[in-house]
Amino acid sequence: MEKLIKGRKYNTDTAKLIGVVGEQQNLYIKRTGEFFLYFVDEKIVPLSFDKAQKLVKEKLDKNIYNQLFNRTGTEFISIEIDSKVVQAARKEAVARNIRLNTLVEEAIRIFLDNKSIKK
């Protein structure tokens, strides 16, 4: 089942089924990391990260929760970034003698820290 909701595509054929979380309710995760509920009456409801985390904790096995939300180490992700931004980032990484992924991770951490300060 595929639906377009607020410009975002949700597809039960391409998303990964996490588990059954209620009577006739299945929880899915998209390749992008977005969660959604699929109801057998063909209704799809996007979920926030926090709501999905709470639902998995309450309704599914502890191992599934740990696999999704208690990860440690590193993960590989694929993102698209404007070429000019990538060039500037590479130049900065070389100037600082660090790897590009280290620079990107640092930028994300700074953004998230600043975001939490503004709340």
Convert the pLDDT of each residue in 13-67 to its tens digit. Answer: 999 999 999 889 999 999 889 999 999 899 999 999 999 999 999 999 999 998 8
Q: What's the residue count for the chain? A: 119
User: How far apart (Å, rounded) are the C-alpha atoms in residues 119 and 11?
Assistant: 33
- Going from the C-alpha of 114 to that of each of 40, 56, 94, the distances in angstroms are 41, 29, 25
Domain ranges of the chain: 2-69, 83-118
CB 56, CB 67: distance < 8 Å:
no
Q: Is pLDDT at 105 greater than 90 in this prediction?
A: yes
User: How far apart (Å, rounded) are the C-alpha atoms in residues 64 and 19?
Assistant: 9
H or E element at residue 10 = strand 8-11
User: How far apart (Å, rounded) are the C-alpha atoms in residues 29 and 62?
Assistant: 17
Residue 7's pLDDT is what?
Answer: 92
